């Protein structure tokens, strides 16, 4: 702590422990893609070579990065499925192994829902790997139908109602600052 009485002396604010925000720079987008590659291609072997698809190539996906003490630790992407219905899809949630006990997963999921809500979405769907269903349930997600095969593995479709645009914007902004308002 500074004891300076110089009014022009300011200390940098501390780095928030957990924060989530849109990959708004080429570096952040590289971090997002590197995390997905590490988890879905190298670790889980779900995809061969790359997990990137048309949503990545056409730019329709919004990519979010979760940071633990300033280090990129996880990611998720989201995209609109049906504008008239206000329906969004969340997918490619990934957390690097060394950060899985950091608590970054919940802020990432909340940030995806808040971002979609801020953009006028009313509901979000996601295909959840079966071991993660309980985690999503604790975050307010509901089962939607029976388990099914998605990307070659058993998944459970789940859904959640999204916050209104004002609340979604406030939540997404708070999560970017490292404050979780939920």
Tens digits of residue pLDDT in 95-115: 999 999 999 999 999 999 999
- Contacts of range 27-32, beta carbons closer than 8 Å, 24 or more positions apart: 28/63, 28/65, 28/72, 29/63, 31/65, 31/72, 31/75, 32/63, 32/64, 32/65, 32/72, 32/75, 32/77
The pLDDT assigned to 152 comes to: 86
Give me the percent of the chain exceeding a pLDDT of 90. Answer: 86
Q: What pLDDT is stored for residue 4 in this prediction?
A: 45
Reported confidence tier of residue 31, pLDDT bands at 50, 70, 90? very high
This prediction's pTM: 0.88
pLDDT tens digit sequence for 144-178: 999 999 888 999 999 999 999 999 999 999 999 98
Whether 2 has a pLDDT exceeding 50, the answer reads no
Q: In a 3-state reduction of DSSP, which class is residue 37?
A: helix
Structure tokens of 84?
A: 């008239």
User: Domains in the chain, ordered, with CATH?
Assistant: 18-177 (3.40.630.30)
pLDDT in tens, 115-141: 999 999 999 999 999 999 999 999 999
Percent over 70 (pLDDT), the chain: 90
């Amino acid at each position: 702590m500074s004891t300076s009485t110089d009014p022009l002396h300011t200390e940098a604010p501390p780095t928030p422990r957990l924060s989530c925000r849109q990959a708004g720079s080429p570096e952040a987008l590289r971090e997002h893609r590197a995390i997905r590659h590490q988890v879905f291609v190298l670790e889980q072997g779900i995809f061969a070579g790359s997990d990137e698809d048309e949503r990545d190539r056409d730019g329709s996906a919004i990519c979010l990065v979760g940071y633990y003490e300033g280090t990129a630790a996880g990611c998720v992407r989201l995209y609109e499925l049906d504008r008239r219905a206000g329906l969004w899809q969340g997918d490619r949630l990934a957390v690097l192994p060394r950060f899985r006990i950091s608590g970054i997963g919940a802020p990432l999921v909340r940030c995806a829902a808040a971002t979609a809500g801020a953009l006028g979405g009313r509901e979000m769907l996601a295909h959840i790997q079966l071991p993660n269903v309980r985690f999503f349930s604790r975050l307010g997600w509901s089962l939607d139908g029976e388990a099914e095969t998605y990307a070659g593995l058993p998944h459970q479709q789940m859904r959640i109602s999204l916050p209104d645009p004002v609340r979604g914007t406030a939540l997404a902004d708070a999560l970017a600052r490292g404050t979780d308002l939920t």
